[in-house]
Structure 1
Amino acid sequence: MLPKKSTSYLCATLLVSGLVSGILATTATAQTIESLSEQSSSEILEVKADTITVENDLPATEASEEAEKLEVETNTTIFEIKNTSPAITNPKKIADVELPPRTLNEFGKISPEVNAEPAQNSPISSQKTAQTTATPTESTVKILPRVGVNFTSGPGVGYSSSFTSLEGFLPLSSGKTNNLPFLEGRVLLSTENALISSNLLLGYRTYNPKDNRVYGGYVAYNTRDTGNSHFNQLGVGVESLGDWDVRANAYIPVGDTRQKTQETISNNNLSLSEPVFQGNFLAQTRTQQGQINRRFEAAMAGFDVEAGTKIAQIGKTGDLRGYAGLYYYDAPGSADILGFSTRLEARPTDNLRLGVSLSNDATFGTNLVLSVGANFPGTRPRNIGKGNTVLVRLGESVARNVNIVVDEQQEVESFTRQETVFVTNPNTGQPWRFQHVNLGIGTGNGTFESPTGDVASALAVAQPEDIVYVQPGTNPSIPAFQIPDRVQVLSTGPVQRINTVELGNLQLPSSGAGVRPQVTGTVTIGNRTTLSGFEIATTTGAGIAGTNISDVTIRENAIASSVSEGILLQNVAGQVAIANNTINNSGLEGFSLRNNQGQVTLSLTENSIANNGAAADDGDGVNVELSNSATGTFNIEKNAIANNSSNNGIADGIEIRIIDNASGTFNVSDNQITTNQFKGINIQLDSTSSGTFNITNNSIQENLDDGITLQLNDQATGTFNISNNPEISQNGLFGIAILLSDSTSGTFNITSNTIQENQNNGVNIQLNDTAAATINVSNNQQIARNGLNGIFTTTSETSQLRLTIESNQISENSFTSLSINSFGSSNTFASVALNTLTGGPLGDLEVIASGVDDIVCLRSRQNTIGNLLLDDSLGGTIQAEDGISTNNIATSNVTNWSGTNVAARSCGFP
């Protein structure tokens, strides 16, 4: 089914098209008969239902030939020839036949209604003589149908685009008349976007001979498609035409006369209230200010009047007319429009018309419009005398605005919209839901207005993704509790923040109060749970415990005096975040993670872990143990780990132990690791385990054993990067200790550190059995003032060490700056370059080969060496690549060196 808009256009277009088709067909018939008159020497006098009468003054012979010619041309014998030549005594009479309903008379061949009697002495009708008798000015006329095309430029009053129109004019009266009903139709096509509009007009005109004027009126129906809207309009008008003309037209839109074409909403100001709790939800009042911008098109009702007259003659039949007038339009939502217009209309010929108009008003401005049109046949019948110039105007087109006048309107509506919304969890798309607890005070069901008085009641009704929100109230102690899966338990003590759809990361109301509720038992956590903001002290077990769980967060708790671990996690997986907690005085480790399966990503950040381990044999501050196939990534960052000690004297600040086939990546950075009972960082790999360790930007001081110990046993392998640590100092044994045994292997990069004032060696390297290591010590700002040696290396059995010592400042150590020692059948390949090695009382570069088959291949270049000692007198061999001449050596002792020199690159360095 077509929409109303399309149906209206279709009907209008069909009516106008039918009108134009009828005019074309009828005009073609008239043209055929008219052409006979133009092609012959005879004048057609009269057409009746059964006879066509023609007249000529040809001689008899030629008259007969003319008749035969007409018979051939028309393929009929219907002509009666009346000859005025005196020589002809008998007219040629052709058989009468019946004609089609349309006669030539009906198509404008005007013949005065005069029937002169033939002279008695002549057998020929004296019609010719009668015709020459003076005939009064005609008071009737025959108007022909016609079609035409017209172009009108734009913009104009109420439209913007130029348009082309196909026009038709159809008289509804047959024969000659001075009272003419007629139909007039147009189809308009805009040139800008090919939009179709239409006009259909029914008019009536009458000629008054006394006044010598034509009076007329009409009713019309118009349609217009603007591309955004469709409008319909009725029109009426009256006119009086003569030596001067006056017209008045009225336009009355019907149907939906005002249509919205566009609506946009612009939000100018959004204000949000502070979120507040309502029931079990967090609500916020949102006040939105803005504007609604609407655009409309409105068909305007109105009228126009004009008066004008002929101001010039163009040729024999053409004229130029000028007009001036006023127009008025109005529509709901539009300002009244009162404007003036002037126009010139030129008709150089009966088939051509030209026009120019100028209009001005406050809404549409000043518009100059040009038009040109052509029609066929012309508007005037043939053979009309000069006295009939008013009468023939019965057939003129009606002068009116053929477009529906449309005004474009804009409305701006300001609004203020207020609504209450519940803050939404971005992970679920649902509102965050809270179970409220006010310890020792609440007696209700868990809403904000009616909280419960204990945590257990809230946990009993908590659903997945709920938050149990605890206020301390009178702060009675909370017994041990278990957090169900996917539930958070938060207190108002620290600042609590949640992610929301509406407000991003939002601080919860009432959080940050500073008082943490007290828990006197173990808090057991489940999958995807959070515990935050509690003081936890237990008399049995760990402060917080979780086993076989994943994705947990423990933050901003104060865990003190737990009987066993402060936090104990076993076989945890997924994302585990331990942040901003204080873990003190635990009987065993402060934090312990033990996994024998699965994969975990641990973030242990910004915790204070101190004074733990008093009841343990090995009570570390942080303990991570991986076994079997466990693996993961472990980020231990920005923690303060201090004063942890055990009853067995071996409590480390951080202990990492990996056994079996387990593996992991460890990033230990930005920590303060101080005054622990044993080692600052102790890393041990056994069996076939492996790992990558990045130890950066830490301050590792005053630990009672090594600052960092890296130990590999069995078949373990590892990569260790120790860099940019500002302090590895004042530790009780070595600054950095590297120990490989069995068939282990590893790569060690020690760069850009300060290693000083440790009680034994700054860097101690020891390889046993068949171990193999590649060690690079470079760009360290200071390896200084250590209790024994700056760097001390030992290889034994069949171990192999590939050692690079480059661009370091190694000075003022108590024994030697750099001591390289080889035993058994081991091999050491050493590249020592660009270092400052000074201030060692026993030597600054010391190389001693003591085994039977051991080899030390030494490449030393461009070093500054205070005291050089080379000794292979005990059975080994020291090979000097390219000698030692490129170094700056203050004192050298090579008495016990075999003096073995080897070619460049013999030591395997580029």
Structure 2
Amino acid sequence: IVVDNQAIQDPNGGLLINPATGNPYYFMHVASGGNPYGSYEDPYATLADAFADPRTQAGDVVVYDHRGDSETGTFTLADQTQVLSSGPTQFLSTQIGQVALPDSNTGLMPQITGNFTLANGSVLSGFNITSGSADPAVMANGVQNITIANNTITNGSTSGIAIANSQGITITNNTLQDVSDDAIDIEDSSGNITISNNTIKSIATAFDDAINVELNGAASLTVDNNIISSVVQTSDNGINVTTTAGDITTRIRNNQISGVDFSLAGGIKYTGNSSGFAQTTITDNIILNDDDSVAGSAVFNGIHVRYLNGSANTDISRNQIATDDHATGGRGIWLNYQTNGATTTTVNDNIISDYTDTDVFAYGLIAAVNQGTKHDFFITNNKIGPNQFNVRVDVTNGAAANMQITQNHFADSAGTSGDLLIYSEDAGSDLSLQIFGNTAHKPFDFTTHAGGIIRIQDLPDLSANNNGVTVNTTGNVVNAP
């Protein structure tokens, strides 16, 4: 393809069309030493000049910045405006498919001190942005179908990227460093949202959550392949997702989240408070807390899933969660269910804790159910420990649950008090268990209080079916043939 004045042509000389608008692409060029016309031959010298042009203010335009220069300013995009630098390879969607933009992939990234405000159909790609105010470096409110890609963002005052009341959001391949507040913050939004292949680093300034997403309607959320790290104390979670309405599909996969000396309070946190149905997948993530100079107790939760409303299917599989410090107030995986809706939860093939240490978490896995009677759990083939307690289950407040705990390997450690710590408390609380094939070393303890009941399939052979482990029962613990 070739660029002819301010349009872009295919190899046969025809104009390339933007499928989102049905119009030919129109370009405003920016280059060092340019003239005030905006064409390829006579480009503007600054972004400010390009944005002052009435054609840019009308929207449906590509602002193409060929510089590696520095500029200060605030830039508000009109609808269907793409602001691209020549630094990365840039692609345009056309009637003949994805087309690489000529003169891109130069490695030149303009250095912008200021902010960008996006509109419907905006694309912002290829800039080094440092916010010069208390506003986020990139922001949007009430828009649809936006893409933020290939940028480097720094903001020590507030969020790096802040989006509200929007749908159709793609945030990919950005680097955010030393961002105060939430590095990527999406609030009151819905629809298709993708946050992928970003690097978020806290080196001198702590973020709150590296990625914070609050969904208020039906949504499909994908958070994949991000690298998140913090060496600064008081950072909160690596990934934090909250839902309040609609049917929600969430995929959190292949992310790497690491902290030092409990610089992160948690790795992945999901809170479902929608009356709809949640399909939640948290798989293949690596969540690490590395020991440096701080010793002793601290809170660090690897994966925390909490349902306050609605029904859900949850898959937590193939994650590695480890700390070589002592998170004696923490949990590797924490399931907290306070919903009357039906739930099915699979926890499979995870590695929880560090086999080279002792007493890593207070609980390797804890499941607490205090509402509802239709909760099924399948906890299988995990490597857990050493922790103070490897698995704890609490069913309270008249709730009921069915649970299979099978084929897990519990580390043999002198510092571990128990491999299973199981409670059913309060009148009507009912927990049914199938437990077999586990490589266990420390006691299985089962206790009921105040009218609760625990039903264990093949209770007489429970020890023999689990490596000869000691079994202790207190209260209304019965065999379920």
Fold-level match, TM-score > 0.5? yes
Match of 1:609 among 181, 195, 200: 200
For residues 712 and 422 of structure 1, do their structure 2 counterparts lie closer, same or farther at Cα, with a shift above 3 Å needed?
closer
- Structure 1 vs Structure 2 CA RMSD: 2.6
Name the SS of the counterpart of 2:236 in structure 1.
coil
Partner Cα separation in structure 1 for residue 252 and residue 227 of structure 2: 12
Distance apart, 1:438 and its partner CA? 1.1
Match of 1:589 among 169, 173, 182: 182
Residue 46 of structure 2 corresponds to 454
Distance apart, 1:769 and its partner CA? 5.8
Name the SS of the counterpart of 1:633 in structure 2.
strand
Match of 1:633 among 220, 236, 245: 220
Match of 2:241 among 637, 651, 656: 656
Match of 2:403 among 803, 806, 828: 803
Give the AA of the match of 2:47.
Answer: V
Match of 2:363 among 722, 738, 761: 761
For residues 491 and 650 of structure 1, do their structure 2 counterparts lie closer, same or farther at Cα, with a shift above 3 Å needed?
closer
Residue 447 of structure 2 corresponds to 849
Distance apart, 1:614 and its partner CA? 4.5
Q: Is the 8 A contact 1:491 1:517 kept in 2?
A: yes
Give the AA of the match of 1:754.
Answer: I
1:821 equivalenced with 2:423 (yes/no): yes
Distance apart, 1:740 and its partner CA? 2.8
Q: Is the 8 A contact 2:163 2:187 kept in 1?
A: yes
Residue 524 of structure 1 corresponds to 117
Residue 834 of structure 1 corresponds to 437
Q: Which runs of 5+ in 1 are unaligned?
A: 1-274, 287-419, 882-903, 905-910
Residue 624 of structure 1 corresponds to 213
Residue 339 of structure 1 corresponds to none
Give the AA of the match of 1:654.
Answer: I
- Paired residues in the alignment total 450
Name the SS of the counterpart of 2:249 in structure 1.
strand
Distance apart, 1:559 and its partner CA? 0.6
Distance apart, 1:697 and its partner CA? 1.1
For residues 719 and 279 of structure 1, do their structure 2 counterparts lie closer, same or farther at Cα, with a shift above 3 Å needed?
same
Residue 253 of structure 2 corresponds to 669
Residue 375 of structure 2 corresponds to 773
Larger relative contact order (C-alpha < 8 A, sep ≥ 6)?
2
Q: Is the 8 A contact 1:711 1:738 kept in 2?
A: yes
For residues 544 and 779 of structure 1, do their structure 2 counterparts lie closer, same or farther at Cα, with a shift above 3 Å needed?
same
**Higher fraction of strand:** 2
Distance apart, 1:612 and its partner CA? 8.3
Distance apart, 1:853 and its partner CA? 1.9
Q: Is the 8 A contact 2:448 2:454 kept in 1?
A: no
Per-residue Cα deviation, 1:348-381 (whole angstroms, up to 9, x for no partner) = xxxxxxxxxxxxxxxxxxxxxxxxxxxxxxxxxx
Residue 412 of structure 2 corresponds to 812
Give the AA of the match of 1:626.
Answer: L
Identity of aligned residues (%): 24
Residue 507 of structure 1 corresponds to 100
Partner Cα separation in structure 2 for residue 433 and residue 490 of structure 1: 13
1:748 equivalenced with 2:337 (yes/no): no
Partner Cα separation in structure 2 for residue 636 and residue 810 of structure 1: 30
Distance apart, 1:562 and its partner CA? 4.7
Residue 304 of structure 2 corresponds to 709
For residues 471 and 687 of structure 1, do their structure 2 counterparts lie closer, same or farther at Cα, with a shift above 3 Å needed?
closer
Larger Rg: 1
1:682 equivalenced with 2:297 (yes/no): no
1:790 equivalenced with 2:390 (yes/no): yes
1:481 equivalenced with 2:78 (yes/no): no
Q: Which runs of 5+ in 2 are unaligned?
A: 291-298, 355-359
- TM-score, with normalisation over the residues of structure 2? 0.86
Partner Cα separation in structure 1 for residue 264 and residue 469 of structure 2: 37
For residues 684 and 634 of structure 1, do their structure 2 counterparts lie closer, same or farther at Cα, with a shift above 3 Å needed?
same
Partner Cα separation in structure 2 for residue 549 and residue 645 of structure 1: 34
5 Å matches for 1:392-471? 420-426=13-19, 430-439=23-32, 441-459=33-51, 460=53, 461-462=55-56, 464-471=59-66
1:734 equivalenced with 2:319 (yes/no): no
Distance apart, 1:285 and its partner CA? 5.6
Residue 871 of structure 1 corresponds to 473
Residue 247 of structure 1 corresponds to none
Per-residue Cα deviation, 1:248-268 (whole angstroms, up to 9, x for no partner) = xxxxxxxxxxxxxxxxxxxxx
Distance apart, 1:494 and its partner CA? 1.1
Per-residue Cα deviation, 1:818-844 (whole angstroms, up to 9, x for no partner) = 23223333221101123222x32xx2x
Q: Is the 8 A contact 2:219 2:246 kept in 1?
A: no
Partner Cα separation in structure 1 for residue 11 and residue 243 of structure 2: 54
Q: Is the 8 A contact 1:543 1:562 kept in 2?
A: no
Distance apart, 1:721 and its partner CA? 1.0
Distance apart, 1:624 and its partner CA? 1.0
Per-residue Cα deviation, 1:216-237 (whole angstroms, up to 9, x for no partner) = xxxxxxxxxxxxxxxxxxxxxx
Q: Is the 8 A contact 1:679 1:708 kept in 2?
A: yes
Give the AA of the match of 2:215.
Answer: L
Residue 67 of structure 2 corresponds to 472
Name the SS of the counterpart of 2:48 in structure 1.
helix
Q: Is the 8 A contact 2:424 2:448 kept in 1?
A: yes
For residues 747 and 652 of structure 1, do their structure 2 counterparts lie closer, same or farther at Cα, with a shift above 3 Å needed?
same
5 Å matches for 1:43-82? none
Distance apart, 1:448 and its partner CA? 0.7
Q: Is the 8 A contact 1:761 1:786 kept in 2?
A: no
Residue 289 of structure 1 corresponds to none
Partner Cα separation in structure 2 for residue 547 and residue 644 of structure 1: 31
Residue 490 of structure 1 corresponds to 84
Per-residue Cα deviation, 1:80-100 (whole angstroms, up to 9, x for no partner) = xxxxxxxxxxxxxxxxxxxxx
Distance apart, 1:678 and its partner CA? 0.5
**Higher fraction of helix:** 1
Residue 293 of structure 1 corresponds to none
